[in-house]
Chain A
Amino acid sequence: DQQVKQNSPSLSVQEGRISILNCDYTNSMFDYFLWYKKYPAEGPTFLISISSIKDKNEDGRFTVFLNKSAKHLSLHIVPSQPGDSAVYFCVGAGSYQLTFGKGTKLSVIP
């Protein structure tokens, strides 16, 4: 039972363009959502979060949108840079536990 789904295993985007990473969830009890970024053979690093009572959160080039009625969230990266190339995990959170999606590998092409 996959509570957090990232249906696109990979995404390629030209440098300077917008990257949109999508995520769907089934658990209505998540209090908030996080996005983590991961490089190969390293631990994930926190990128941005959004409370379940908000519909948008912005931090520099990164914006997360939440559509609760559709149980869908997305991460927008504008403009995309080659250093953004990594695996991005969508994470649902309720109290102590984080539930990770399988990740989307983003490749930003110079």
Chain B
Amino acid sequence: DGGITQSPKYLFRKEGQNVTLSCEQNLNHDAMYWYRQDPGQGLRLIYYSQIVNDFQKGDIAEGYSVSREKKESFPLTVTSAQKNPTAFYLCASSPSGGAPGVVNEQFFGPGTRLTVL
């Protein structure tokens, strides 16, 4: 059955270490996204990719990096440069990168809660 997988569900890291969050989708979607959610806040866009081998910064890209070598995979690396990395990270995908007037419904994975100690 199709969907978006994020692993692990909980992740703990020491301060100063880089960590990579996994996101895989088998929905054959072209576009993928990474969001961050903090308590009492909405989702904020970190990076997005509309097609393989291409990605763009979102609103809060500093301290993060991504790659899109395969259509089904969009890993996010939280680097030591990210000042407040502890958060709930959500990956999403959509059939296309969106076009004016077309509903770009995004499908979300279950999320990874990252805690930096």
Which chain A residues lie closer than 8 Å to B43 at the CB level? 44, 89, 98, 100
A98: contacting residue among B102, B104, B110, B111, CB under 8 A:
B104
Q: How far is the CA of A45 from the CA of B3 in the complex (A)?
A: 12
From residue B2, how far is it (CB to closest CB) to chain A in Å? 14
The answer to whether residues A41 and B111 also contact, given A96-B50, A102-B42 and a CB cut-off of 8 A, is yes
Check if B21 is an interface residue, CB within 8 A of chain A: no
How many angstroms between the C-alpha atoms of A36 and B106 in the bound complex? Answer: 10
Q: Are A44 and B99 neighbours in the complex by a CB distance under 8 Å?
A: no
Per-residue 0/1 for A71-95: is the Cβ within 8 Å of any B Cβ (1 yes, 0 no)? 0000000000000000001000111
Are A9's CB and B40's CB within 8 A? Answer: yes
Do B42 and A101 touch across chains, with their CB atoms under 8 A apart?
yes
With a CB–CB cut-off of 8 A, which chain B residues contact A103?
42
A58 within 8 A of B: no
B99 x A95 contact (CB < 8 A)? yes
Closest to B41 in A: A102
Give chain B's interface residues, CB within 8 Å of chain A.
4, 6, 9, 31, 35, 40-45, 48, 50, 58, 88, 90, 92, 97-111, 113
The 19 listed contacts between A and B (C-beta, < 8 Å) are: A34-B103, A34-B105, A41-B88, A41-B111, A43-B4, A43-B90, A43-B92, A46-B105, A46-B106, A46-B107, A49-B105, A93-B98, A93-B104, A96-B50, A96-B97, A96-B104, A97-B58, A98-B45, A103-B42
